[in-house]
Each structure stands twice: as C-alpha cells, then as structure tokens.
A and B are shown apart, each in its own frame.
Chain A
Amino acid sequence: MEDFETRECDVLVVGAGGAGLRAAIAASEYGAKVALVSKSLLGKAHTVMAEGGVAAALGNVDERDNWKIHFRDTIRGSKNLANWEMAKIHAEKAPDRVRELERWGAVFDRTEEGKISQRNFGGHRYPRLAHVGDRTGLEIIRTLQDHAVHMENIEVFMECTVSDILKSGNRAVGALAYYRSSGKLVVFEARALILATGGIGKAYRITSNSWEYTGDGHALAYLAGADLIDMEFVQFHPTGMVWPPSVRGTLVTEGVRGDGGILVNSEGERFMFNYIPDVFAAETAKSEEEANSWLKGEEGAMRPPELLTRDVVARAIMTEVNEGRGSPHGGVFLDIASRQSPDYIRRKLPSMYHQFKELATLDITKEPMEVGPTTHYMMGGIKVEANTAASTVPGLYAAGEAAAGMHGANRLGGNSLSDLLVFGKIAGQCAANFAQENSKVSPHGKEIKKSIENTLEPFEDGDENPYQIHQELQEIMESHAGIVRTGEELEKGIRKLEELEKRLPKMHAKGERKYNPGWHLCLDLHNMIITSLALSRAALERTESRGAHTRLDYPDYDDELGKVNMIVRPGPGGMSVVRSPLLKMPTELKDYVLKEVV
C-alpha cells in the first residue's frame, strides 16, 4: 500500500475559516488536542469575503434591540423554516461572541460614544451589524487566527485537504487527507471530528465563492451516512458585479444598501417599492419620501425596501431584467453616489471603492454600479442538534455554512458570521466533550486502503478533463437549479448530473502529485456532484416557492410543506429525500415572531 503518515488527536477540525477556528479554540480550551486542517493557507478561507458585518443584538445604536427581536427577524427571514432552537441560541449568544472577539483584539468601528458601531442590513429590524468598514470577515478571521496560533494544543495543517472520513462501525474515527504542496497522504486518527468546510458555490458558474467551495463537508458527511437538511435552499445574493465578464459574480456588499444605496432600473425607477411582501409591509417604507426620512436617521422611520431580505431583492432584480428594464450588461443599477458623500463612501465602503475602481474602472462615489444576483451561500447542509452541533453520525460534528438548520429558507445578511462564532464554539466544546468520554478507536487498515485507492484514482488512465467536467456541471446547475426553477427543468438537470457522474471515474490528472490542481479538482468534483444531486432532488420535492427556493410551477407557499424540512440521506437504493416535521416552537417564542415590537 501507498505510504502515509499518521497523526493522532482528540478533535480533528476540518476547515479553518471562522467556524473551524472558533471550534478549534473552544475544543482546545476544553483541554482537547486539536488538529486543524485547512484546504488553503491559514487566514485565507471564505470568511475573509464576508464584508458587511456580524449580527448581534448589542443595542449600541438602537437600544430597543434585543435577542428576542433578532430571533424574530431570523425566523421571519427564514420563512418559518429555521430550527427555532438554533435561532434562539444564536440570537442569545451572538452578543457575547462579538464582545469576546473584542477582548481578543478585534477592532470594530466605533459609535460616537466609543462603543462598537452597528449598521443596518436587510431583514434586521434595527441597526445590528457590528462591522469594520466593509472588511468585517477579515477582522474576524485574523482575530481568531492570531488567537488560535498561540494555543499550544492546536496544530495547524495548512494546504491539506480531507478526501474521506474513516469510520469504525457507525462512529467517525478519523480521516484521510493529502498535503497539497507535496501530494503526500496523511491519516488523522481522532476521537471526534468537526466539519467546518463552508459552502458549495463552485457548483455554479456565477458565484461569489472561491475554488474551495466545493461542498466537501456536505459530501463527506453524506458518504459517512449523515443526514443533510434544507439542501434546496441556496442563497443568491442580490448584488454581484455583472461587468466586466471576468468578475461576474464577485460580491458587492449589502452594506452599500445598508448605508443608503438604492436600486434603480433602466427607466430610472426605484423599483423595490413594487416588491414589498405583506409580511414585511408594516416595517418597510412605501414611498421615496418615507425611505428618505430613514436615511436622515429620523426617529420611527421605516426601512427602505432595498433592505428587504435577500431572496426578495434577488427575485425583484431578476424580474426587472427579464422584463426588459435591466442595465446594459444584464443587471440593475445600485446607486450610492447620489446618496452619500464621497468621503463617507470611501470610509465605510473602502474595498467596494477599490474593487470597482480597479476591476471595472468605475468610481462608485460618482457613478452607479451595475449589479445582479450571484450564488453566495448554502442554507442547506449537515443536520445538527442545536445544543451540541452533533450530526446524526456519532463522533461527527458540523458548524458554519456546512451545517444547517439555523437559516431555513433564507439567511439574513450578517447572520453567518454570528452563526459561525456561536455554533463554532458549541461544536468545539461538544466534540471535545465527546472525545473525553469516548475511547480512541483506530480506523481499520482495509478502510484506509480503500480510501487511498479512491484518492489516487485520478492518476490512473482516463480521457476526461476535470476542468471540462467542472464547466459542464456549472452550466447544468446554472440553467436547471438556479434562482428560478421548475419541476421539468430540475428533472432534466438531475438526469444530466447522473450522466456526468458516470464520467467521473474516467477523469484523469496529468502530471505529478506535487501541487497539482488538476488532481485536486478531480476529487473536489465528486463532492460537487453529490451536493448538486442532493440540492436538485430536494428542490424537486419541494413543490412550492419559499425563501430562496422559487418554483415557477408552484409560485405560492404550500402550508403543508411549510411544516417540514427535506432530509437527504443515503438509502439502500441510493440517495433518498424524506420529509421531516419542523420542531414545535413554544407559544412564547411564536408570539415574538408575530409581534412588531418585543
């Protein structure tokens, strides 16, 4: 058998973005010996791309804010599909997690009184997002990174990719991984594992996500026998760049709208007033006049419709474009130049200013941007228990974007950074606790051998180019499981995915094992196909439109489907989709959701 090294640890954390780092810190504080495995260099994970802020009801800018309203906003934004226990824990704990970052050296923007400043964002009743200009994610990941590297019992393995979870019986007991830089193999023997691998956006062509986002955790968990949940819900962020082609999909932060930016069609109309859903009518401005009094900061003013939830805004933009009122390159206009002073824009949105100046030769302090929807975030993922972050496989935990339940059918902006802090910590503690209570079991040699064979298979003969397969996959997902869907299109897409899946064994990695992206892509594609199939099959099963999932053939809510989550799990006959009733929310919490003020 091929050589490999063996590393032992109590807790193996797969992924070193915000969730993985926070989990590693928590596990290490609990006394566990932690191996933190990162597909990229440390500090480069997708968390750096989070721009607008971290949602936490600190009440620094509007003292009426509290966890109950944050909970209410999260459930409303999720179109009632979120796991209420997770939403409650999240809203309660987020302020502590943010304050803790400050004690670890994070430097958030300040209010005039010298407290952490908070900005408005879509779906949040009050200004709630603690932020650092438009580079909040960088601040958070750097703070966590610098904190973690000084902890003695965390060992970091950079540019190391997990290709398989190793089990003993039903329990997850380790993983096989390869070092990208050398191509050498390593077996991690662990008492508990945490998957914090992020999202799946690279299955789509137009996306704000990096090459890393290939659904690794989703697929690894599925193959290990874990349940996935809410896979039909993919967030298309309303504002990605649309021009020039090479940057199509690159994120334009919601902070632009939070700081007063407006959406305008080719006829100069501020069209979002035409798209206000009933559930948000009571808190949304109905006219430009009302919306302008909000921008001036007048007491009791209602929020502008540009700050409706992302699913609503993304669909509105698509409708405008489809009905012929789009911008020259197939988006709409996002205008902050006429709303705020150049100084303010450069101070609050510095990276947007540079991004457009350098990549699109456009000065956002003078001209409107062109924007359109881009695949951004996976609401669906590994089903976890709210209090422990445990998956349905013993010893296997998940946190951050790879886990699911917290956001239901639509995630509010700012709730992902808080999610990864809150549940990263819970996952770290509970995995460490599991490691303490369960003795070590080594993975079986036969299983290791099989994993190694699978991992090295792309070097065998074959004539398929993985880059070509990837491009075909992205086209399928873009056209059959995109922002609007129909049963017929989804079925076609699923058939094409199944055809593509058959070609995977013929993929060939040219060259040596040392730093070979072609080989890495071959392995990533297996994960992308599994997640794409899970996503499409769950989407086919949900015959209604809710949140980020829009079915043209079922344009309305279906009350019965509003009471269930879709679970995807490996069955004896292959992948199966089953319905699972929502947890029953206590009456007191239901009251919060219905009220305008709590």
Chain B
Amino acid sequence: MKRKIRLQRGELDNLRLDEFVIEVEPGMVVLDAILLIQATEAPDLAIRWNCKAGKCGSCSAEVNGEPKLTCMTRLSDYPEDQTLTVQPMKTFPLIKDLVTDVSWNYEVNKQITPYQHTEGTGDPIMFQAEVDRVQEFRKCIECFLCQDVCHVLRSHDMKDEFAGPRFMIRTAGLEMHPLDQGERLEHLRDDHGIGLCNITKCCTFACPEHIEITDNAIIPMKERVIDEYYDPLKWLWNVVTGKSN
C-alpha cells in the first residue's frame, strides 16, 4: 500500500512542505516513514531520534498539528487516504527541517535547586507508597511536547517568566521526595512563574508517558505556594511578629 506524507523542510527563510509517496509496511510508525524518505529520497533531511521505542523522547514533532512522538505514532492511526503532515515543534526555534533548538529547556533545568539529601545513619528507608507519586514524575522522558503545547510558552512566548510543565514536574518530583531538603517554593513563584499556569491541562493531554502533570504536580504546588505566601493567618502572624514575607 502507498500513502502520501508531507514533511516541513528548510529553515525559517525558505520553509516549504515537500510531499513524498511511500510504500507502507505493516506496523509502520511515522518515524519509519521519515527514515525511509531520508534513506531513499532526501539524505540531508534533518530529524532527531534515538531509541525508536518511546523511551528517550527525541523524535517529538507535530503530526497533523498534534504533538506526537513520531516513533510511537502508527500510520494506521490515520485514514489511509489522508495525507499526513509532519512539522517540527512550533514553540522552539527552528534549526532545520524537523529539528528545533530545545537548549532553553536545559538552561531552565540548571536553575532548579538540585536534590538535597537528608543524611542519616544506614541506608535510607522510604516506602513504596511514599515514592509512587515521585516515580510518576520521574517517568518523564523529556520529549518537551508538554512545553510545545503549553500556551504560555507557545502562544505568548513567555519563556523568561514561565519554566513550563516539564519543569513543574521536575520540581514537584524534588519537592515531594520524602528525603529531600531543598527549598524551591520562592523560586517557583518568582522565577518559574507557577502562577501563570491557568490549568488548561494541554500538557497533560500531550504527555506520552501519561503523567498527570496538572492534577498531580502543578495544582498541589500552586497550593503549597499559596499556603506559604498568601495564607492570611500567616500574613497576620508575620505582621504581628515583625517578620516580612
């Protein structure tokens, strides 16, 4: 069976959609189609990929406008007669073809206070029930699709003010770790802009690891920030005792 696929090619000053016709094999995923085109028709076609098993989060793109890992998206998920269109993630600066510059994410990660271990005697004791939630966040494969669809970043380009969902769960994974002693709430409020998230859950829907980003990470952390900085009783106590916020 043959099917049509359109790939965005070029750089910002010469963008185009090139159409290819490929022979489809059973089980083929979008990344297979792209690599086939690369091997046969477009040797310099740029696509980022690694594990081809949904574990490394390299091959993120927008397939028919939807955020997808191309290695986990089967061609058979779309009607046979439909032309598929694959474009790079829109939120990040384009390098070439389907590859974007995601280095901003790595800079944000560096700003997060790292894990601070509670030193004790002997091996740490933590129970599974205590770490289930943290493990959910640590499933993140850093595909950055949540960043791509977050409208604070995508539509408003507020990268200077908002760290994005990926780093909300990174922070949550540290804050909810039973043995971590780091302080991150002030940073979360002031520098990473947790207040800017208005919980539309776009990130949660996009997550290929099915992490409940909004419900399990962002909302509980918004509550922690509010408890810490906007609690009226605490505010009154601080005024009475002369402590400032």
> Which positions in A face B, CB cutoff 8 Å?
40-46, 48-49, 99, 102-105, 107, 109-110, 113-116, 132-133, 135, 138-139, 142, 146-147, 149-150, 156, 158, 181, 210-212, 243-247, 250-251, 350-351, 354-355, 358-360, 465-468, 471, 509-512, 514-519
**Chain A residue with Cβ nearest B43:** A518
**Chain A residue with Cβ nearest B140:** A142
Q: A105-B177, A114-B127, A509-B44 are in contact. Are A246 and B28 (CB under 8 A)?
A: yes
Is B67 in contact with chain A by the CB < 8 A criterion?
A: no
**Chain B residue with Cβ nearest A133:** B135
> Which of the candidate stretches B54-62, B151-159, B195-203, B223-231 sits at the interface with the other chain?
B54-62
Q: Mark B43-80, 1 if CB is under 8 A from A, else 0.
A: 11111111111111110000000000000101000000
Expressed in whole angstroms, the minimum distance between the Cβ of B20 and any Cβ of chain A is 15
Q: A116-B123, A359-B74, A517-B45 are in contact. Are A48 and B25 (CB under 8 A)?
A: no
> Which of the candidate stretches B109-117, B185-193, B236-244 sits at the interface with the other chain?
B109-117
Flag if B25 contacts A49 (CB, 8 Å). no
Is B121 in contact with chain A by the CB < 8 A criterion?
A: no
Contacts of B134 in A (CB 8 A): 107
Is B180 in contact with chain A by the CB < 8 A criterion?
A: yes
Flag if A42 contacts B106 (CB, 8 Å). yes
12 further interface pairs, Cβ-Cβ under 8 Å (given A210-B56, A466-B43): A41-B102, A48-B56, A109-B128, A113-B125, A244-B26, A246-B26, A351-B55, A360-B27, A471-B39, A510-B43, A515-B95, A516-B44
Flag if B27 contacts A243 (CB, 8 Å). yes
Is B101 in contact with chain A by the CB < 8 A criterion?
A: yes
Is B97 in contact with chain A by the CB < 8 A criterion?
A: yes
Flag if B56 contacts A515 (CB, 8 Å). no
Cα-based distance from A591 to B126 in the complex (angstroms): 38
Flag if A48 contacts B141 (CB, 8 Å). yes
Residues facing A in B96-138 (CB within 8 A) are 96-97, 99, 101-103, 106, 109-110, 114-115, 117, 123-128, 131, 134-135, 138
Q: A351-B54, A359-B74, A516-B46 are in contact. Are A146 and B109 (CB under 8 A)?
A: yes
Is B29 in contact with chain A by the CB < 8 A criterion?
A: yes
Q: A107-B134, A107-B177 are in contact. Are A465 and B117 (CB under 8 A)?
A: no
Chain B: residues with Cβ within 8 Å of the partner, total of: 57
Flag if A49 contacts B48 (CB, 8 Å). no
Flag if A211 contacts B131 (CB, 8 Å). no
Cα-based distance from A355 to B48 in the complex (angstroms): 20
Is B212 in contact with chain A by the CB < 8 A criterion?
A: no
Cα-based distance from A466 to B39 in the complex (angstroms): 8
Flag if B135 contacts A107 (CB, 8 Å). yes
Expressed in whole angstroms, the minimum distance between the Cβ of A448 and any Cβ of chain B is 26
Flag if A104 contacts B53 (CB, 8 Å). no
Cα-based distance from A306 to B177 in the complex (angstroms): 36
Contacts of B52 in A (CB 8 A): 210, 247, 250
Most buried by A among B32, B52, B54: B52
**Chain B residue with Cβ nearest A60:** B123
Most buried by B among A41, A244, A519: A41
Is B161 in contact with chain A by the CB < 8 A criterion?
A: no
Contact of A105 among B43, B106, B180 (CB under 8 A): B180
Flag if A115 contacts B135 (CB, 8 Å). no
Flag if B44 contacts A518 (CB, 8 Å). yes
Is B234 in contact with chain A by the CB < 8 A criterion?
A: no
Cα-based distance from A511 to B128 in the complex (angstroms): 53
Flag if B99 contacts A515 (CB, 8 Å). yes
**Chain A residue with Cβ nearest B27:** A244
Flag if A49 contacts B56 (CB, 8 Å). yes
Contact of A107 among B29, B44, B47, B131 (CB under 8 A): B131
Contacts of A113 in B (CB 8 A): 125
Q: A115-B123, A250-B52 are in contact. Are A467 and B43 (CB under 8 A)?
A: yes
Q: Mark B1-18, 1 if CB is under 8 A from A, else 0.
A: 000000000010000000
Expressed in whole angstroms, the minimum distance between the Cβ of A117 and any Cβ of chain B is 8
Flag if A149 contacts B27 (CB, 8 Å). no
Flag if B72 contacts A359 (CB, 8 Å). yes
